[in-house]
Structure 1
C-alpha cells in the first residue's frame, strides 16, 4: 500500500486580507456556518483517507492551533495523526523552505508520496483520484490544475502541457504571453497549489536548498522540475465526488477581500454543498459533525478506488 504524508501549508500572513488577518492567520479566518478556511482542505483529507498529516504554521497561529487541537486532532487520531509544526515568527522561509525545515520529521513517517496542500483555498476534492493518476504517470511531481479565464490568469501559476499531461512550460503569475488551453479559447490552465511528490525525489531536492534563503515551490522548485520533464498536471475537472454537488468542481483562492466575500456568498447561496442529508462529502464544522456524516464518510473511504475513479486516457 502507498504511504502518503500530507503537509498542509498554513503559515501565511494573508496581507491582502487585512484587516481581517491582523490578529490571526488566513487559514483560521471564520468563513461560513461555523467553518474556517482551513476546514476545506482538512475535510478533503479526512474524506480521502489521507490521515497522516503535518500542518505547518507561522503567522499569528494561536487561534489556528486552538481550532486544530480542539477539533481536528481528535478527529484524525482515530485513524492517523495530525501534527503541528510552527516556524519562528521572523523566519522568511517560503513554502519549499518551510517544508525543508521539517525534513527530519518527514523522514520519520517513511512516506512513499508527499502531498503538499494549501490551507487557504475553498474547494472539494478526492485526493485518491489524483494519487491514482500520479502513480500511473510515474511522475516526480503531479500538480492539480483548474481552468481560469485569461482575465484572472495573471494571479496564478500557468501551465502548458502536452497530450500526455506532461508540463512543458510553467510561469508563475505571467504578465504577458499567457498560454491558453487549446480546446478552451479564453482560458488558461492554473495551478491550484496542490502537489503530489515522489517522496525520495522531493527529499533529495529539499536537501540541496540553502535554508538561510527564501524558497517557494511555485517560483523556484517547480520551474526546475518542469525543465527536467518530470512533472505532470492533474485536471481537477475529472475529479468525481459521491452524491449531489450543487457547485461541481468549485475552486476559489480566497486570498483577497473581494474573493473572500464573493466565495462566502457562493456558500450561503448553496448551503447544500457544505452539508445536508444528501451530502456525502460535507465540509466538516467544529462542534457540528452529525453522526451520520461520520458513518457515511467512513463507509465511503472503505470503497475501492475504482468505484469512483474517473477513467484516464
Structure 2
C-alpha cells in the first residue's frame, strides 16, 4: 500500500517535568535500551511504510541525534526514507507550529510531492505494537473518509485525560469529547489517524488559514456530520508517555513484571528497532544480587538490584541497593547508597552512603545531578 507515515513528536509535556527539560517527550528513554518514538517508527516500518516524516519542535536535539539518518529502521533510502520536519522562518512568516493541523499545513509540500494515496498520522510518545495494514483493510471495508484508532480503557487509566468517542453499532463515530470530567464512555481516541491524502490537504486548506490549528478539535470534530469517520478498535497494550511521571514509571514497571506485555511489545508484530551503541555485555561481580530486573548492555553490577530497570552503562557498586527504580544511561550508584522508588536520568551520581527514596510517587533526578 502507498501510505505516507507522519509522526507528531513536537509536543511539550510539562507533566514529565525533569525528564523533558533537555529532550522531547518522544525521545524519553524506556525499557533499558529504547526511546519512546522507536515503537511508532518500528510499527510503520513493520507495516511496509518506508517514507516517514517526524514533525518535531521542542528540545529536538536528543531526538534528532537518536534518529540520525534512519538507518537502524532501514529508512536511509534513495526513494522515501526518514524526514525530520522542524518549523522554520519562511517567506510568508511561518515559524512555530501552533498546533497539530498547523504542523501538517506547514509541511504540505511533502504531502503534495509524494505519490502516496493515504496518510497515517501517529504520535511519537505512545507505546504500543500494531500493524497498520489492518487499519488500511478496515478503512476500505467501511468506505470511510477518516479512520481513528480507539481503545476501551480500563480503570488503570485516568479517562479524564483522554478524548473519548461515541460510536454507532457499525463503528461510525457520532461524537468526540475531548478531556471531559464525566465522559459518557471509556472508549478513548489513541491519536492515530488514517486518511486519504487529498482529503487531508483539502481539510487543512479549509481550516488552518482561518486560524484553526488543531487536527482533532478544529478539523475532525467540526466535520463529523459531513465525513464518514469510523473507529478502529485496538485491544492491545497502549500507554501514553506524555501523561506524566506516574504513567512513565507505571509503564516501565508493567513491562518489567508482565511476560505477556513483554511478548506483545517485543516479539509480536515485528521487531522494535532502535539506535545501536557499542557497549560490552553486562558484568555481574561476585557480590552482585539481581532479581526481577532489566539490565542493559554495559552495566557493571556489584550491589543489590531488585525490581528495577537499568539502562546501558549503569554502575551499581558493592553494598549499594537499588529497588523499584529506573536508572538511565551511564549513571553511578556508589558504595552503600540506597535508591528506592526513584527515576534517575542520564549521567547522574548517587554518592556513597547517600539515600534517595520516593514516598507516594517516584523521586526524579535530572541529567548530570550528583547527590
TM range, smaller chain: 0.7 to 0.9
C-alpha change, 1:49 and 1:96, in structure 2 (3 Å) is same
Q: CA deviation at 1:153?
A: 2.0
C-alpha change, 1:64 and 1:225, in structure 2 (3 Å) is same
Greater Cα shift, 218-227 or 31-40: 218-227
CA distance in 2, matches of 1:104, 1:288: 34
Match of 1:42 in 2: 41
Checking the alignment, whether the CA contact within 8 Å between 2:73 and 2:273 is kept in structure 1 is: no
Match of 1:86 in 2: 86
Match of 1:99 in 2: 104
Greater Cα shift, 96-105 or 207-216: 207-216
Checking the alignment, whether the CA contact within 8 Å between 1:92 and 1:214 is kept in structure 2 is: no
CA distance in 2, matches of 1:33, 1:204: 42
Alignment pair present for 1:153 and 2:141: no
Could you tell me which runs of 5 or more consecutive residues in structure 2 were left unpaired when the two chains were aligned: 90-94, 279-371
Measured on the aligned residues, the alpha-carbon RMSD in Å equals: 2.3
Could you tell me which runs of 5 or more consecutive residues in structure 1 were left unpaired when the two chains were aligned: 181-187, 238-248, 290-313
- Secondary structure at the aligned position of 1:284 is classed as coil
- For these two proteins, the number of residue pairs brought into alignment is 267
Alignment pair present for 1:250 and 2:256: no
Match of 2:203 in 1: 205
Greater Cα shift, 147-156 or 9-18: 147-156
TM-score, normalization by structure 1: 0.79
CA distance in 1, matches of 2:111, 2:232: 24
Checking the alignment, whether the CA contact within 8 Å between 1:167 and 1:229 is kept in structure 2 is: no
Of Structure 1 and Structure 2, which has the larger fraction of its residues in helix?
1
CA distance in 2, matches of 1:279, 1:189: 24
C-alpha change, 1:22 and 1:202, in structure 2 (3 Å) is same
Alignment pair present for 1:268 and 2:251: no
TM-score, normalization by structure 2: 0.67
CA distance in 2, matches of 1:9, 1:281: 22
CA distance in 2, matches of 1:227, 1:161: 13
Q: Deviations 1:28-65 (Å, cap 9, x if unpaired)? A: 11112210000010111111111111111111111111
Greater Cα shift, 17-26 or 74-83: 74-83
Of Structure 1 and Structure 2, which has the larger fraction of its residues in strand?
2
Match of 2:270 in 1: 281
Match of 1:55 in 2: 54
Structure 2 counterparts to residues 200-239 of structure 1, below 5 A? 200-211=198-209, 213=211, 215-237=213-235
Q: CA deviation at 1:88?
A: 4.4
- Secondary structure at the aligned position of 2:255 is classed as helix
Q: Deviations 1:44-87 (Å, cap 9, x if unpaired)? A: 11111111111111111111111111555762235741111101
